[in-house]
Amino acid sequence: MNPLASLARLADEAPRRALVLLGVLVAVLLAAPVLLDRYLLSVFFLIFWFATVGQAWNIMMGFCGQLSLGHALYVGLGGYIGALLWVKFGISPAIAIVPAMLVAMAFGAVIGWLGFRFGIEGVYFALLTIAFAEVARIGFDNWSFVGGAAGFFIPVSATASPVNLRGGPMLFYYVGLAMMILAFFVCAALRRSKLGHAWLAVREDAEAARALGIDVFRAKMAAVVLSAAMTAVAGVVYAFYQNNLFPSQTFDIARSIEMILAPIIGGLGTLFGPILGAFILTPLGQTLIALVEKIAGRAIPGVNLVFYGAALMVIIWYAPNGVWPWLKKKLGIPEGRE
């Protein structure tokens, strides 16, 4: 795979109007913090974060057709490794990202090997991913070295440092934006690579792909491992954004469900779908949480998930393939182009 060649081909194939709009959007997002307060900066960080993990999950389900409902496992592993190495050993999260990725890839490889080697597919593979996330939750809940159920806390520093992910909402805004853009281009390069075409063949018909000489097992394993690595990076960033980690929240299936909604609503298997889905769901969900808290006088857990479920039903009814495919038709962008 040649990533530069894949990106060059993406630029050649993409409509000029779409590239111009994309450039304008990035420019606006780069300048936006000047006009945003701390709360809105935090909301935008969440948008970028969900777009990033949505891209990572989209590799598995959208590109390769493998359903995972336990991606919170990789968020938690990345977050705990990054936090532990920083708090216990003083290793910068910029360096800790590497072991976080490697550990997440190892777990992804184990899950993939167990699932694909023994023919566990579809909903049964999804249950396998949930099982691993639940085992991790129970394990970290009872591991005193990382605080157990009481949680693990990252000290707040008064000195801003992008390398150590210490700073306020503006720093995380730009870190999240860079992460989202990088995830987009990584996925664009992967999709247009030989491996990406193999994924699409496996997604459509694994037996036909095997008959064409594609190593289906290897393609599926690559999807799991790469998706896990990207998610672990996002997990490190999110841990330092929150400054705390609780197993009951970090590995919870609700976290996994939140992560997959953006690509589903935006458009599975597309590059802009996870981004568009995150820009639709996250601001509306955060607004709903704030509104309910103001009316009820207290936070009501899970209210955003109820909203996400309602939004998902509406999207499935009016745009079953997601918002981005529907929007492409309205914009007159030919099929096969992002």
- Residues 73-122 have pLDDT tens digits of 999 999 999 999 999 999 999 999 999 999 999 999 999 999 999 989 89
Q: How does pLDDT run across 251-298, given as a tens digit for each residue?
A: 999 999 999 999 999 999 999 999 999 999 898 888 877 777 778 777
Considering only CA atoms, which of 44, 33, 55, 40 is closest in space to residue 262?
Answer: 55
- pLDDT value, residue 46: 96
Average pLDDT score, the chain: 89
- pLDDT value, residue 184: 94
Q: 134 Cβ partners below 8 Å, 6+ apart?
A: 70, 251, 253
Maximum distance among all Cα pairs of the chain, rounded to whole angstroms: 61
3-state secondary structure of 144: helix
Residue 4: band (very low, low, confident or very high) from pLDDT cuts 50, 70, 90: low
Partner residues linked to 161 by β-bridges: 166
CA distance 231 to 309: 23
Q: How does pLDDT run across 143-184, given as a tens digit for each residue?
A: 999 999 999 999 988 677 888 999 999 999 999 999 999 999
Q: How does pLDDT run across 205-216, given as a tens digit for each residue?
A: 999 999 999 999
Using a cut of 0.85, tell me whether the model's pTM lies above it: yes
**Does position 337 have pLDDT exceeding 70, yes or no?**
no
- pLDDT value, residue 14: 52
User: Which whole-number Å values give the CA distances from 288 to 227, 292, 300, 305, in the listed order?
Assistant: 30, 6, 11, 10
- pLDDT value, residue 336: 56
- pLDDT value, residue 16: 61
Partner residues linked to 260 by β-bridges: none
Residue labelled with tokens 């009481």: 150
Q: 19 Cβ partners below 8 Å, 6+ apart?
A: 11
